[in-house]
Structure 1
Amino acid sequence: MLKRAFDLTAAVLGLVLLSPLLLAVALWVKLDSPGPVFFRQERVGRGGRLFRIHKFRTMVHDAAQAGLPLTVGQDERITRAGRFLRRHRLDELPQLFDVLRGEMSLVGPRPEVPSYVAHYPEHLRDKLLSVRPGLTDPASLAHLDESERLGRSSDPERTYIEEILPAKLRQAEHYVDHASLTQDLRVLWRTLCTLMAGR
C-alpha cells in the first residue's frame, strides 16, 4: 500500500513538473521522422497479465518488422532524436502514465516481451511476476552496456537469452526478496545519477 501511494504521488508530480519537457520531446520525435510519437509494445506484467508499455518512439516506424526486439549496438533503426533520448533514458518517461494506470511501478523488474518471459525458469516466473514491473531496477542499472555487448555478438538473441537474461533474473530475484521503500529510493537515486551522467 505504501509503495503504491509513493508511486502515484511521484508519478503525478513527475508528470506535472516534466510536462514542458514531455511536450518538447513529443514535438521533436514527430518532426524528426515519420511515424507516431509513442511506441507501444506488449509486455508481461504483474500476475502474467499482458499490457502495452509506452515509450517515446526512438526507432523508425515499423522497426519491429525490420529486426530483433532488441537494440543491438549502433542499430540503424534508431532515429537521430532516438539516440539522444535513449542515451538519457528520456524515451522511458511516458511510462509514468503506465504507473498511474497501475500497470507499472517506479521501481521493479523491467517487463519483458512474452517471448523472453517464456525463457524464465519455472521456479522464478511466479516470484518475479508477483510484483509490478518498474521503470528502473538494479538489473537495468547493472546492464547499461547491454546494447554494445549484443553488438559484439555474432548471435545477439542467443547471447541475450543465455547470458544477459539469466543475470538480470538473478538480480530481479534479489530485488523481490529484499523489496522495501528504502531500497526503491536507493535505486531511484542511482538512476537519477546515471541519467545526469548521460550514461
Structure 2
Amino acid sequence: MLVAKKLAKARKPYTPKLGEKGPSGPVYSVRSIVSRYIRYREDGSIEFRRLNILGQDVLYSSIFKCIWEQDLEDLPKHPVIYYGWAYVDRTRNDKAYKIKFKKSLKQGGENLVTSTFVSDSLIDSFKLKNLMAVRLSKVCKKPIPTAFVFLYGQPSVKVYNERNYATFELTNLDMIDVNYDCPLPSKYDK
C-alpha cells in the first residue's frame, strides 16, 4: 500500500510552488501587491496567482494597467493598480505633492493630463508617513524629478480651467507606491 502511494505521487507532474497559488493572506498596501507581482512574474507563476480584493477573487495579472495612452472607455470600471513614470513636484500653495504621469489617459481622441495629489495633511495623518514623505521629498530634489509610481484607484475626469483631466483620488497612503527606478522588467519601463 505504501509503495502504491509513493508511485502515484511520483507520477504526478511537478509544478513548482503550486501550493502557493491563490490568495496569499491579507494585503494592506499597494507596495506589498507590487512586490508579490514582481516576484510571481520572475518565478513564472503569475498566471496561477490570485488576490482577494473586497471579497472578489482576481488574478494578479489582471489588476495592473500601464498608464500609456489608454482610452478610459477600455479600462476596468473598478479600481486597479495603475503604473508609470511620473513627474513629482510641490503644488503652488506648497501644501501637497503633485504627481503627474508622463503619459496620459485618453477620452475619445483627447489626451487627458493624468495626475494625483498627495496632500501634506494626508501624509501627517498616516502612521508610517516617514517612508512616503522621504521618497516624495527626494524625488522632488532630483535634477529631473521623476519616479515610477503605482497607485490603486479608478480614474475620474475633472474639468479645471475648461480643460479635462484624468485624476485619481487618494484617501490613504497605502494606495500608492513611489519608486526611484522602475522595478518591473525593461519592457514595462514605459
TM bucket, shorter chain: under 0.3
TM-score normalised according to structure 1 size:
0.25
Bigger fraction of residues in helix: 1
Which structure's relative contact order is higher, taking Cα pairs within 8 Å and 6+ residues apart?
Answer: 1
Return the TM-score normalized by structure 2: 0.26
Which structure's CA Rg is the greater one? 2
